[in-house]
Amino acid sequence: MRKSAITYPIAVCVLFSLFFLVQESSAQQLADFKYGTKKKKQFYGNSHFDFGLLVTNMSNPGAPYPEGHQKTAISFKILSKRYNLEKGKKRFYWQNKSVGDMFSLMGAVLQDASNAKRKEGSTLSHLLGFGSWGWNIKKPTRSSAAIGFNVNDFVIGSHNFERTPTGQLVNGKTIEPQGLYYGVGPSFFYDYAISDKLVLQTLTTYTVGVYRLVSVSGAVKNDQYQKPQLAHVSLDLLSSMGFRVGVDYTRVIDMGIYKNKTTRLDLVLGYLF
């Protein structure tokens, strides 16, 4: 069960990367990729800031009543990258969605004050964000690959209600795993130049929760409960105009008995500065 929770998105990303690894060509080099509407900027070897609008879908198929955990919202994220290409050189990736998630929640409360009350649903966000560091393992050509590690924080919580025979929601509670966690794990980067105007960038991470800083207010707390893990895959298409479209897939891996399967899927439209 735990394996199936992560193998599909990671396998797709790995197979996608392997396909392009055998398609090496000198016709287009990653080092040549530049972006911008007026003055073109070199992407690789420089630091970049990105602002992205998100269409976010949250779900939890492991919840007692999964239909109560399906929700879609508009949010945003900020992203920072510095990718070097030379073999052995370092690259850095950081993203934060918590600010956008907070604005999205505030907007929902302003539209309907009842949204301030704790409703049935699942949460998957963070506080400081996701950070990954990698070191290039191959000479850059049309593609580049790097392996490294991540240091991530993540906020999770699943609030569930029981149902009466008439369908009334009663006895709501937030169960484990819940709270703000910090974790570490491996990261894998892969970039591929589709053309001189389009570059694919992927990042696959797996984070093992090692410490819970705080619990959700009012949660049924169990300090002996196994700490959760997190699988994450990002696919980004960068254009020479500076626009970016992408998909972020993040999944909670519950190592305990409650089988929290909170999944966050973000569709991204961003712009590189």
Q: Which domains does the chain have, with CATH numbers?
A: 2-161+170-272 (2.40.128)
80-104: buried (b, 16+ CB within 10 Å) or exposed (e) per residue?
ebebbbeeebebebbbbbbebbeeb
Alpha helices in the chain (DSSP H): 2-21, 98-111
Question: What is the residue-averaged pLDDT of the chain?
Answer: 87
Residues 14-68 pLDDT 10s: 555 555 444 444 457 999 999 987 788 899 999 999 999 999 999 999 888 888 8
3-state secondary structure of 196: coil
Percent of all residues in the chain with a pLDDT value above 70, rounded to a whole number: 85
Residue pointed to by tokens 């519950």: 254
| Three-state secondary structure string covering 4-16 | HHHHHHHHHHHHH
Q: Which tokens belong to 227?
A: 């700490």
The whole-number average pLDDT for the span 225-235 is: 96
Going by pLDDT thresholds of 50, 70 and 90, the confidence category of residue 173 is confident
Residues 78-117 pLDDT 10s: 999 999 999 999 999 999 998 888 887 766 545 544 444 5
Closest CA to 258 of 61, 8, 123, 10: 61
